[in-house]
A and B are shown apart, each in its own frame.
Chain A
């Protein structure tokens, strides 16, 4: 009997995506030759609402690849189902980085097969002119900023948009100083905001950063306008083709609590309308979550494997530009798993942008952030 499973995604329709899906389908069909896999494109900004609606109507997909920060909300709306019964006894689960498994209590909401992480791209030519080496700590970075500015470029391009995109850039600075969503009332929150706002005032970070997402920050850096750029591994391909200068990548500079970024990328979840959830879990185990499937994704789309064994593969470790990102996987921080986390993320993005632009004082922005998040999470 021929069965079929529908997997919703919002990957851009490109030859790379087609190649990836063909590779995944081949891996799955090697074990389940009679199951047809349909990859269904759903626009990014419609994914959550379509999952919510279809989940309620019982017409949703068997599985979905989407932004897992919304998984808790989708679970509470019963649009996805708990993956725990299908993965808890799976021997390979221990290979997946803990931060890539989205949980709520004992429930497994979503598992990421790859992550997108932020790192520090640097312009080697500018650093050489300034006579500095790539910064590995925030203290080193702080000391370098005047020298880099003296070269005549922005010292650092960072995202600061008042959205979840901005939060993706802001959160690592807080994590590096030991601040998470649970302790935002700490005075360190103000310290982090004040430090970055001062960088803008001193002209080390461009004012436009207050409305930039990671894409805009990278677009400015690739033009040769900045020494450093806090940007993601997904831009490695563009850097290779478009950079007219020598460049390299290092991990996010470490704060007092270390170097931590937060994982982006898509998570795999089983839809509540799945006719055969065990089969959908099998599909994910054999593709998105398998070593071969993750390496295929790395080769085709540049996402970093979440499996420890895939992370140690020579295709990752021997790539000097990818290695700093791969090294971050084990130390990635995570946000609290809550259906309300997307609200808290926007609150952080907004406070970050407000402090960078001077709309609010660092202490005012910190206060607003702490009280908003406390109100949201309660």
Chain B
């Protein structure tokens, strides 16, 4: 290092002289470093069980799934050595007659659940913002919906969606003569299940949005009001920009949940009629656990997993950014 390099330039902080950079025993900086190290070690000890559980409980199955998706795995050799077969499982998956329908269904399903959940969740949060008794009651009701087991929700809605079910009876009372095949008509089935999935997701989104809305400083809203901003302008120019990180996080979580949605489809339509409401995770289940085509089922699951993983990484990144901005 040349001597010139240690000469401070105007407006800059000079690096400490080399002899002062070496911390000695008793030096407060050295004490801080060892304290940081101890803390780091402590943190690692506390993190270890979680890392171990995740590694064994999630990491190992994921690696096995990947391995399976690139191997010839049938019922005969499920517990024996698997022979690699390259991309054969992915090719077989793509050549299934229902694959194209299933991919389109999955994208449509996710899109409807995402738009429905975020929009209605936000409207619900805005409606429930006032601290009224009725809003507390509605919130409690929504939480109840959220925690209901999918098998209960699916069965309930299935009966309501039947040709002679509650909804068609209400529509008939309103003058609609032909019952709608909510789950039996191939043009309706997927959207009906998506609507129920949205209905289940809304409470979570509403609760999160409400918490974020309550965090918006009241002064900002008052200032906007004094400046003559309308409610729509306040929402568009102040509330939504401030909610953006939360909106993104909720959106990512909704997409992840919708993408791996299986239970409601299983209970309500069994993927039908025909293949009208089958999605990629449902197809993966059918292939692996009903048809014993483990390799191809693993390929379907891997595709789902990759999409969810990309979204999960996005979620973590957004969460970090939100944390930093907070």
Q: Which residues of A contact B (CB under 8 A)?
A: 45, 48-49, 52-53, 56-57, 73-74, 76-77, 160-166, 206-211, 213, 220, 225, 339, 342-343, 346, 350-351, 353-360, 365, 368, 371-372
Q: Are A342 and B291 in contact (CB under 8 A)?
A: yes
Per-position binary interface string of chain B over residues 165-192, scored 1 when its CB falls under 8 Å from any chain A CB and 0 otherwise: 0000000000000010101111001000
- Minimal Cβ-Cβ distance residue in B for A53: B79
B106 at the interface (CB under 8 A from A): no
* Residue in contact with B275 in the complex, picked from A52, A356, A359, CB distance below 8 Å: A359
A–B complex contacts, Cβ < 8 Å, 13 sampled: A45-B289, A53-B79, A160-B273, A164-B290, A208-B162, A208-B181, A210-B184, A210-B273, A211-B270, A350-B98, A354-B275, A357-B184, A357-B272
- Minimal Cβ-Cβ distance residue in B for A57: B79
B48 at the interface (CB under 8 A from A): no
Cβ of B135: which chain A residues have Cβ within 8 Å of it? Answer: none
Q: Are B292 and A56 in contact (CB under 8 A)?
A: no
In the complex, given contacts A211-B189, A350-B274, what are 4 additional A-B residue pairs having Cβ atoms less than 8 angstroms apart?
A163-B271, A207-B184, A208-B184, A357-B273
Q: Quick one: which of A76, A207, A209 has the most chain B CB within 10 A?
A: A207
- Minimal Cβ-Cβ distance residue in A for B76: A76
Q: Are B290 and A162 in contact (CB under 8 A)?
A: no
In the assembled complex, the CB of A39 is this many whole angstroms from the nearest CB of chain B, namely 24
Compute how far the CA of A208 lies from the CA of B188 in the bound complex, rounded to whole angstroms: 12
In the assembled complex, the CB of B78 is this many whole angstroms from the nearest CB of chain A, namely 6
Compute how far the CA of A246 lies from the CA of B256 in the bound complex, rounded to whole angstroms: 52
Q: Are A211 and B273 in contact (CB under 8 A)?
A: yes
Q: Quick one: which of B98, B274, B275, B292 has the most chain A CB within 10 A?
A: B274
B286 at the interface (CB under 8 A from A): yes
Compute how far the CA of A57 lies from the CA of B80 in the bound complex, rounded to whole angstroms: 11
In the assembled complex, the CB of B181 is this many whole angstroms from the nearest CB of chain A, namely 4
Q: Are B185 and A161 in contact (CB under 8 A)?
A: no
Compute how far the CA of A294 lies from the CA of B98 in the bound complex, rounded to whole angstroms: 42
Q: Are A77 and B78 in contact (CB under 8 A)?
A: yes
B69 at the interface (CB under 8 A from A): no
Cβ of A346: which chain B residues have Cβ within 8 Å of it? Answer: 286, 290-291
B293 at the interface (CB under 8 A from A): yes
Cβ of A57: which chain B residues have Cβ within 8 Å of it? Answer: 79
Cβ of A48: which chain B residues have Cβ within 8 Å of it? Answer: 289, 292
Compute how far the CA of A148 lies from the CA of B210 in the bound complex, rounded to whole angstroms: 55
Q: Are A353 and B272 in contact (CB under 8 A)?
A: yes
Q: Are A163 and B162 in contact (CB under 8 A)?
A: no
Compute how far the CA of A213 lies from the CA of B266 in the bound complex, rounded to whole angstroms: 12
Known: A162-B272, A211-B272, A357-B273. A77 touches B75 (CB 8 A): yes
Cβ of A166: which chain B residues have Cβ within 8 Å of it? Answer: 270, 272
Q: Which residues of B contact A (CB under 8 A)?
A: 75-76, 78-79, 97-98, 162-164, 179, 181, 183-186, 189, 268-276, 286, 289-293
Q: Are A162 and B79 in contact (CB under 8 A)?
A: no
- Minimal Cβ-Cβ distance residue in A for B277: A211
Cβ of A360: which chain B residues have Cβ within 8 Å of it? Answer: 274
Q: Are A162 and B271 in contact (CB under 8 A)?
A: yes
Compute how far the CA of A333 lies from the CA of B183 in the bound complex, rounded to whole angstroms: 32
Q: Are A76 and B183 in contact (CB under 8 A)?
A: no
* Residue in contact with B75 in the complex, picked from A45, A52, A213, CB distance below 8 Å: A52
* Residue in contact with A343 in the complex, picked from B78, B274, B275, B293, CB distance below 8 Å: B293
* Residue in contact with A342 in the complex, picked from B271, B273, B276, B290, CB distance below 8 Å: B290
- Minimal Cβ-Cβ distance residue in A for B275: A350
Q: Are B291 and A77 in contact (CB under 8 A)?
A: no
Cβ of A209: which chain B residues have Cβ within 8 Å of it? Answer: 184
Cβ of A354: which chain B residues have Cβ within 8 Å of it? Answer: 186, 272-276
Compute how far the CA of A210 lies from the CA of B273 in the bound complex, rounded to whole angstroms: 5
Q: Are A161 and B270 in contact (CB under 8 A)?
A: yes
* Residue in contact with A339 in the complex, picked from B185, B189, B272, B292, CB distance below 8 Å: B292
Q: Are B181 and A207 in contact (CB under 8 A)?
A: yes
Cβ of A73: which chain B residues have Cβ within 8 Å of it? Answer: 75, 292
* Residue in contact with B273 in the complex, picked from A77, A206, A353, CB distance below 8 Å: A353
Cβ of B289: which chain A residues have Cβ within 8 Å of it? Answer: 45, 48-49
Q: Are A56 and B290 in contact (CB under 8 A)?
A: no
Compute how far the CA of A346 lies from the CA of B274 in the bound complex, rounded to whole angstroms: 10
In the assembled complex, the CB of A9 is this many whole angstroms from the nearest CB of chain B, namely 19
Cβ of B292: which chain A residues have Cβ within 8 Å of it? Answer: 48, 73, 339, 342-343
* Residue in contact with A162 in the complex, picked from B179, B268, B270, CB distance below 8 Å: B270
Q: Quick one: which of B179, B185, B270, B291 has the most chain A CB within 10 A?
A: B270
Compute how far the CA of A220 lies from the CA of B272 in the bound complex, rounded to whole angstroms: 19
Compute how far the CA of A166 lies from the CA of B275 in the bound complex, rounded to whole angstroms: 13
- Minimal Cβ-Cβ distance residue in A for B181: A207
